[in-house]
Structure formats: structure tokens, C-alpha cells
């Protein structure tokens, strides 16, 4: 691996900043930074246009060919890269088994919904995923990952959802965050106005007598599907404007986990758009 400057002190300015970004969400938000931990996620973000502020590797974390290639790419981008000890890495890490690779990246400062207002010339019928107060970071990250896999045009997180830069969201998304247009912190009224202006076919996942089975719902037009809070579901204001859809269940359970329901419904969208003539 390329010869790198070694940092050994916990009081080093960059080490203290990295610790704050990983362990202090409010400070991370104030600094406009977030953490990307592990080789696979680091490789994913390097394939995108996200800016990396600086990177830490341990001797063990940087010994593979893939890690050496990653260091070379970082250096080519003129990103500062440093070596740290396993002990220092463990103090910085948010995981039980640190991999010895930690990147500190800059958050996307984009305005909510701004990027979604542009005409989609290459997408005649965009598919948007909307999360309404989904609070569990694992659920948000998993849905991000599924949305990318399903070819969604973008994802809108209404106010009250988990922060997309939360460490658990970033890990659960498995790189999905870096490849999907995301607007977060969107007010419900602004979303409903945007949906009306774009003439979206608005659907909401719901378990009630007014809901239609997902396989009997037409998702082939310009579509937004809303998935709601783990305990309370989609808000009444959105339900009043949306057509309700549900996934049938045949065992003695009240509902599916929101990320599981999202996967089933989004892949029905894929089936209708790609596999059904």
C-alpha cells in the first residue's frame, strides 16, 4: 500500500472530528459530515461523486489488494489518507468488529424536493418511494437499498423519519444512499402539493377495508408509493389523497414490517413495468 502519514494521538484534530461525526449526531449534522465505515461501503461511495473529506486506514484494514486500490483512488482525488492503529480505530468505530477502513464524507446539501422537480426525459413514468415518519434506521436503510434495486427514481423522507446519514441507515442501505436521489425533512403539505403538481398517481400502504391488493393495482404510470410509521402507519392527510394498497397475509399476524412491505410492493411495480407486456 502507498506510504501514508501515520496518526497516533487521540487528541489529533482529525481524530477528534471523526469521533464526533461517528458518535455525536448533532455535531455531525452541524459539520455537514457523515461516516462511511468498512471496505465495501467505501468502495461504493468512491464509485459515486460524493466528496470525501479524509480517510483512515489501519495496517490490517489496508493490507488487501482492494484496500490498496481504494487508497490509490483516494490519493488520485487528492483526498487526505492516514494510517491509524487498531486501538484508535476501535475507539472511532460504531461497530463491534471494525474493519479498519473509515471515510468521513460530506453530506449532500441539496434542497428537499428540488431535484425531483426537474423533468425526467429518460423516465417517462418515474417511480418515487415516500417514507412517512419511518423512524427505525434499519428500516430506512433497507428501504433505500430496495428502492435502488427496484430502479426507483428517487425517495422522499417526510419530516419525522430517521436521518439518512445515521450510521445504521448508511450501513443498512449498503451503498444505496450514494446512487439515489433523496430529499429528506420534507413537510407533508409540501409533498402533497408537489405530488399534485406532478400529477402523480399516489398510493399508500395500508391495512384496512379500503385498501386494494397490490397485485391488482396499476403501478405502470408516474407513481409515488407512501410507506408509513412503524406503529401508526401513513398519516390521515395522505390517506385522504391516496389510493390504499395492501399485501395479503395468510398467517396470524397483523402486518408486515414496513421494509418487508416496501420490498413486496416495489417489486410488484418492477414486475408490472418490466415483465408484463
Average pLDDT over residues 174-179: 93
Residue 243 has pLDDT above 80, yes or no: yes
DSSP 113: T
Average pLDDT over residues 194-207: 93
Task: Using alpha carbons, list the distances in angstroms from residue 205 to 128, 199, 202, 218.
Answer: 14, 19, 10, 14
Q: Does domain 115-275 have CATH number 1.10.10.10?
A: no
pLDDT of residue 121: 47
Kindly state the cell numbers that stand for 42.
467505501
pLDDT of residue 111: 54
Q: How confident is the model at residue 112 (pLDDT cuts 50, 70, 90)?
A: low
Average pLDDT over residues 48-76: 92
Sequence-distant (6+) residues with CB within 8 A of 118 are none
pLDDT of residue 2: 66
Check if the beta carbon of residue 58 is closer than 8 Å to that of residue 89: yes
Instruction: Name residue, grid cell 489518507.
Output: 81
CATH topology of domain 5-106: 60s Ribosomal Protein L30; Chain: A; (3.30.1330)
Kindly state the cell numbers that stand for 156.
422522499
How many other C-beta atoms lie within 10 A of the C-beta of residue 23? 15
Mean pLDDT (the chain, rounded): 92
Structure confidence by residue, pLDDT tens digits, 211-226 = 899 999 999 999 999 9
Q: How confident is the model at residue 62 (pLDDT cuts 50, 70, 90)?
A: confident
Average pLDDT over residues 228-239: 96
Strand order from edge to edge, sheet including 212-213: 182-186, 154-158, 127-132, 223-228, 201-205, 243-246, 212-213
Structure confidence by residue, pLDDT tens digits, 3-15 = 889 999 999 999 9
pLDDT of residue 109: 67
pLDDT of residue 192: 96
Strand order from edge to edge, sheet including 33-37: 5-6, 81-83, 52-57, 101-106, 33-37
Check if the beta carbon of residue 21 is closer than 8 Å to that of residue 31: yes
Residue 201 has pLDDT above 50, yes or no: yes
Average pLDDT over residues 131-151: 97
Average pLDDT over residues 108-129: 69
Residue 251 has pLDDT above 80, yes or no: yes
pLDDT of residue 117: 53
Smallest CA-to-CA distance from 234 within 181, 192, 196, 173 is with 192
Structural domain spans, the chain: 5-106, 115-275
Q: Which of 22-26, 104-108, 111-115, 260-264 has the lowest mean pLDDT?
A: 111-115
Q: How confident is the model at residue 168 (pLDDT cuts 50, 70, 90)?
A: very high
| pTM for this model (two decimals) | 0.92
- Return d(Cα 138, Cα 52) in angstroms, integer: 24
In the chain, what percentage of residues exceed pLDDT 90? 82
Alpha-helix residue ranges (DSSP H) falling in the chain: 13-23, 25-31, 39-46, 65-76, 86-92, 137-149, 167-173, 188-197, 236-239, 258-270
- Return d(Cα 17, Cα 30) in angstroms, integer: 12
Residue 21 has pLDDT above 50, yes or no: yes
Check if the beta carbon of residue 61 is closer than 8 Å to that of residue 39: yes
Amino acid at each position: 500500500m502507498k506510504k501514508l502519514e501515520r496518526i497516533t494521538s487521540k487528541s489529533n484534530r482529525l481524530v477528534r472530528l471523526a469521533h464526533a461525526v461517528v458518535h455525536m449526531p448533532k455535531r455531525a449534522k452541524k459539520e455537514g459530515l457523515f461516516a462511511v465505515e468498512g471496505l465495501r461501503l467505501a468502495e461504493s461511495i468512491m464509485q459515486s461523486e460524493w466528496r470525501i473529506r479524509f480517510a483512515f486506514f489501519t495496517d490490517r484494514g489496508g493490507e488487501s489488494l482492494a484496500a490498496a486500490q481504494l487508497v490509490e483512488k483516494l490519493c488520485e482525488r487528492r483526498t487526505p489518507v492516514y494510517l491509524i492503529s487498531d486501538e484508535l480505530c476501535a475507539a472511532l468505530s460504531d461497530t463491534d468488529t471494525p474493519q479498519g477502513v473509515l471515510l468521513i464524507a460530506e453530506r449532500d446539501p441539496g434542497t428537499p424536493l428540488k431535484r425531483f422537480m426537474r423533468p425526467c426525459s429518460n423516465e417517462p413514468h418515474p417511480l418515487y418511494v415516500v417514507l412517512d415518519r419511518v423512524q427505525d434506521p434499519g428500516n430506512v436503510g433497507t428501504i433505500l437499498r430496495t428502492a435502488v434495486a427496484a430502479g426507483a427514481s428517487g425517495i422522499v423522507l417526510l419530516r419525522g423519519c430517521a436521518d439518512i446519514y445515521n450510521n445504521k441507515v448508511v450501513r443498512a442501505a449498503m451503498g444505496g444512499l450514494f446512487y439515489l436521489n433523496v430529499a429528506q425533512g420534507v413537510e407533508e403539505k409540501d409533498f402533497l402539493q408537489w405530488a399534485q403538481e406532478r400529477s402523480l398517481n399516489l398510493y399508500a400502504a395500508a391495512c384496512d377495508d379500503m385498501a386494494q391488493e397490490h397485485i391488482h393495482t396499476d403501478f405502470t404510470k408516474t407513481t409515488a408509493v407512501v410507506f408509513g410509521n412503524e406503529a401508526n402507519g401513513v398519516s390521515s392527510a395522505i390517506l385522504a389523497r391516496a389510493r390504499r394498497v395492501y399485501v395479503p397475509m395468510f398467517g396470524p399476524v397483523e402486518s408486515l414490517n414496513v421494509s418487508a412491505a416496501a420490498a413486496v410492493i416495489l417489486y410488484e411495480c418492477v414486475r408490472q413495468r418490466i415483465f408484463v407486456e
